[in-house]
Structures are given as C-alpha cells and as structure tokens.
Amino acid sequence: MTEKFQFNWLKAVQIGLIGGAVAVLVSLIGMVEAFNKRDIIAGVITMGQTLLFAIGLSVSYAAASRVGGQDWRAKLASGTLAGLMVASLIVGLVLLGKVINLRPVLVNASPPLFKILTFNQKDTALTIFYMLAAGAVIGLVAGLINSLPPRARRAVIAALLWVSILGLLQELIRITLTPWPQVTKAVSWMFAASKNQKGLSVLGAVVVFVGVGVAHYLWSGWKPTVQTRLGELPPTSQRSLRWGSLFLVAVLLLYLPNLLGPFLSEVATTVGLYILMGLGLNIVVGFAGLLDLGYVAFFAIGAYVMGLLTTTGGELTTSFEWTFWQALPVAVGASVLAGIILGVPVLHIRGDYLAIVTLGFGEIIRILALSDLLKPHIGGSQGIVQVARARIGSIVFGNAQTLYYMILVACLLGAFVALRLKDSRGGRAWMAMREDEDVAQAMGIDLVKTKLMAFAVGAAFSGLSGAIFASKLGTIYPHSFNLLISINALALIIVGGMGSIPGVIVGALALVGLPELLREFDEFRLLVYGGVLVAMMLYRPEGLWPEKTRQRELHAEEDAPTGEPIVELAGVTSAVTSGK
C-alpha cells in the first residue's frame, strides 16, 4: 500500500470555499442567530449550529464524492480539506469581527452571533484552533460517510436527516401526542427534559440515529424481496391491499384535525387552500404549458365575489346577504369568466410574454380592489368585513377544525377532477399544446378552445380556493392578494414536480406547511424559497414527486378494450390482421 495517492486538492479547496461563503452569508444575514433559539439536541446542538454543520457536511461530502474518485484516502483528504476551508472562512469572519466593528454595515454581525461561531470561547488562539478542528472533523466525517459502501452510506444519511427532522419538529410531535398522556410519558425520554428547552434529548438522538440507521439498512436489503412478493400476489389480494391502504389514509385524513389541535389544523387549512390553487395552476402551467403569473387574480375574484354577496357588514352600496352556499357557485363562475376574459387577449402570446401579461393582470385586479373608484362597491383598502361562514344544518364552518373538512372535500374534489382531466382527450390536447403548439394544431386541436378551457378550469380551482379563504377569514383586504400568492403557487408546483398531482400536495406541504411550522424561517422565507428553487432546478428539475407516465400500451391490454375501431381506417385493420 505504498503507492502514492493523489487528488485534485485545488478542486476540493474550491468547493470548500464555496461552502464557506455560504456559511458566512447565512451567518451575516442573521439566520444562524435566529435559528439558535431552537435546539435540535437539547443542550448539545442548536438549530443554528446544525445549519452550519449541515453546510460543512454537505460541502465536504460533495468534495469527497467529486474529487475523491474511488480512493478512500482521497475521499477522506478532500473531505477534510473542504471542511477546513469552510471553517477557515468562518474564522476569517470572526477575526475580522474582532479587529473592526462590522455592525454599522452588517447589522447581524452581533456579539451573540460571534458567541455561537466561536463556541463561546474567549481566547483567540484557542478559538481558532477549536473552529478549524471542528471544520476538519466535520470534513473527515463527511469523507468517511462518503467512503462507506452505498447501502450503509444511505442508512447513515437517512439517520442524520431523521435526527434533524425530529429535532426540528419535536414541538409538533409533542402537541400531537398531548391527548394521550401515556404515550407522552412513554416517549418523554426522547425529548428535552425541561419545557423551555426544545429538541431531542441526547439519548433520544442516539436512539433515533441508531434506530433509523439500522431500520433503513435492513429495509434496503428486504425491499426487493418484499416488492417481488407483493408483485407475485394474486390480483385480487393486490387490489384489496391497495384499497386497505387507501382506507387507512382516509381514516387518518378524517381524524387528522383531532390529532393536530387548533394551531396545526389552521396550518393544514392554509396548506389545503394552496393545494387547491396548486392543482388548478398545475393544469394551466403543468399540463397546458401556459405560464401564468397572475393566478392570484382568480383567487381574489373568488374571494371578493364571496365577500360581496354574503357580507352583512352593511358598509357597501349593495347588499345581498346571501348564504355561503348560494354565493359559492357564483364566485367560482365569476372566476371562470375572468379566466376566459384573460384568455382571449393572450391567445396568441407565448412563453415569457404570456408570463408578463398575466403578471400584469394579477396586479390590475389587486389595484382595482384598492382603488377609490370601486371603494363604495367593494370597500377599497378597508376591504369587506363579516363575510358569511358556511353552514350545514347546525354545523358552522367557523374554526380551523371544521374548515379543515370543507377544504379536504374541496381538495379531494380538485384532485379527482385534475386526475380525470389528465387522462382525457382534453388533457392530451393540453399536453400536446405544451409540447409543441404548432404541431398540436396540425393534429386537429383547436388552440383557442383548448387554451381557454385551461384558463377557465384553472381559474375555477383558484376561485373556489379564494371563496373558501374569504369565508375562513371573515374579512378580506386587497393586500391579501399580492403577487407573492401567485409566486407561492407556482413555486410549489415546480418543487413538487410540473404536471404531477401528488407533486402539488408534496410541494404545498414543503413550501407552505414547513415554513408555518418553523416560524424562525419566516424572515428568511423568500431567501429559502429562492435557494430551494435554484437547487431544485440544478439537481432535481423534475421535482420531488415527478409525473409518472402511465403504462397504456401493454398494461391496458388487461382491461381488454373491445369493439370496433373508432376510426374506420379500413386498411389498417386488415393490414394488421393479415399479419403485416
């Protein structure tokens, strides 16, 4: 083993410096400090430190896998080097902070931040030593993980992720468990002892790490056999298995509000409204390929029509005082109409230009809602108050837990419609149009009709979401309908996977649900969005849950479609049957 080993150390340094720059950046914008209030493992490591460690780990991991090649020594060396580079940039920041006061320019370069970065050490030399050592150790660990055999490597990564996720969400888990004191007691060792400390306990972290790691390792060994076994089951039991799991999901969904409690149910309703919007926008952007940046307009129209027709506030010139259910179809209908009205002028506009025009449309609606001109009719900046709640019999959909069910029904309905449309003649026309507008037209697709249909259906989803939103809040203001809602809806379908219906749900949970749970993120929401979008485009452009292409040629043979061909291409049939 005396052969000389070489590696491209310059490349490792480069990757490390990029990571270091990111680490310095997140420190200086205040993210590390803001996250430091939450512990991942109580008393050991905070979320802020975890963020820095995560940057160090992933950068060193990247260096190890890109530079290290197949040689484990090179992997360790490049990982360590990259880790050192990350640490040295942070050291640079700390030293700079000691020499000059950075605060006048960089507000977040505060004493608490430096305390975090320096592990609360006073002595400069010792600090530098500690920091560099930490960086090197992290890099070494990343290199070690990278040189593990694939199965073990995946298990370790999964275990690390689970520890961080459980640490992050421990509050949520505890709230969920409150109805069951026994369970709470049984798992209390997992979490931090005192109430003001958050995060996992040391023991909890170790158990989760080992548990998840071992489970993942074993499962990755069993998975192929289990899958083949399942595949070998007779179709009837496969079907009952599928129905069984669906039933379980249904029960869980129905029971969820009781599990979540009021605050988390509130989060769930927000996520639900976004899912509904995402499903609609997915039809417009994902299926039909029409980039719509003014999607909030239809949301606003749905909300305003609902508000206008049901308000009992009496500040407007008109007073309808309809019930929610009377107003709902009108609200959705108005959105559809608006979708068509927007659609007509943009029929011949494609791509970027379409995005700009729709962007303008969204702003026009918001500004109209704010305008003095329409103030007597729709309330101007004061908005509309006392929007009716939905009622069925004695049930009032007033709080999050009841609204949850209404939104759940709307989402299920939306998902069902989207699924059905996707595999229909109209859905194919949308996708053909997305792929190549000219050729789609040459295949006999009426572009005018197809485009308007996409805008109209998309608007219906958004209008429905808006109408429920208005009733949920009880009051609506123009500023609730800003561009950010369009951006959110678009971002969640990009992250979830363009054109994918489960992707919309995953995207909404990730982009709307998570930030609601981690309120520390709030300030940095847009930054994280931007980062996530860039990362997604670079490493996983197909999204978290990409659209699956259905197996139709061979699979559908089982459904045995029979009957005469619809197109009487006399020759085709005879040519095929005569054994071409």
Partner 1 sequence: MSILKVQKLVKRFGGLVAIGDLDLDVKEKAIHSVIGPNGAGKTTLFNCITGFYKPEEGDILLSGESLVGKTPDQITHKGIARTYQNIRLFANMPAIENVLVGLHSHLKSGLVGAIFHFPTVKQEENKALTEARRLLRFVGLAGKGDLLAKNLPYGDQRRLEIARALASQPKVLLLDEPTAGMNPQETVEMTRFIQHLRDELGITILLIEHDMKVVMGISETVTVLDYGVKIAEGVPAEIQSNTRVIEAYLGRGVGANVQQQAA
Name the site residues for partner 1 (rule: CB under 8 A).
Answer: 416-417, 420-421, 423-429, 431-432, 435-436, 438-447, 453, 457, 549-556, 559, 561-576, 580
Q: How far is the CB of 347 from partner 1 (least distance, A)?
A: 12
What does each C-alpha distance from 298 to 277, 350, 500 come to in angstroms? 10, 20, 22
Q: Which run of H or of E encompasses 300?
A: helix 296-310
**Which residues have a Cβ under 8 Å from the Cβ of 108 and sit 6 or more positions away?**
27, 28, 29, 30, 33
Q: Which two tokens stand for residue 514?
A: 């998570």
Contact between residue 504 and residue 493 where contact means Cβ atoms under 8 Å apart: yes
C-alpha closest to that of 342 among 289, 296, 276, 278: 296
Radius of gyration of the chain (CA): 28
175 vs 413 by CB, closer to partner 1: 413
Angle (nearest 5°) at CA 166 between 160 and 167: 90
**Which residues have a Cβ under 8 Å from the Cβ of 403 and sit 6 or more positions away?**
265, 269, 397, 468, 472
Amino acid at 333: G
Q: How far is the CB of 461 from partner 1 (least distance, A)?
A: 13
Q: How far is the CB of 411 from partner 1 (least distance, A)?
A: 16
352 vs 564 by CB, closer to partner 1: 564
Q: Which two tokens stand for residue 528?
A: 């994280």
Q: How far is the CB of 503 from partner 1 (least distance, A)?
A: 15
344 vs 556 by CB, closer to partner 1: 556
> Measured between alpha carbons, how far is 490 from 320 in angstroms, rounded to an integer?
34
95 vs 556 by CB, closer to partner 1: 556
Give the three-state DSSP class for 384.
strand
Q: How far is the CB of 454 from partner 1 (least distance, A)?
A: 10
Q: How far is the CB of 501 from partner 1 (least distance, A)?
A: 14
Q: How far is the CB of 250 from partner 1 (least distance, A)?
A: 21
CA dihedral 527, 533, 539, 545 (to 10 degrees): 130
Q: Which two tokens stand for residue 223?
A: 């998975």
261 vs 333 by CB, closer to partner 1: 333
181 vs 565 by CB, closer to partner 1: 565
122 vs 580 by CB, closer to partner 1: 580
Give the three-state DSSP class for 243.
helix
Contact between residue 2 and residue 67 where contact means Cβ atoms under 8 Å apart: no
Q: Which run of H or of E encompasses 283?
A: none
Residue 223: exposure state from Cβ atoms within 10 A (0-12, 13-18, ≥19) = exposed
93 vs 421 by CB, closer to partner 1: 421
372 vs 558 by CB, closer to partner 1: 558
**Which residues have a Cβ under 8 Å from the Cβ of 253 and sit 6 or more positions away?**
408
Q: How far is the CB of 543 from partner 1 (least distance, A)?
A: 13
Q: How far is the CB of 551 from partner 1 (least distance, A)?
A: 5
Q: How far is the CB of 376 from partner 1 (least distance, A)?
A: 38
122 vs 555 by CB, closer to partner 1: 555
φ/ψ bin of 43: left (φ > 0), alpha (ψ from -120 to 50), beta (otherwise): left
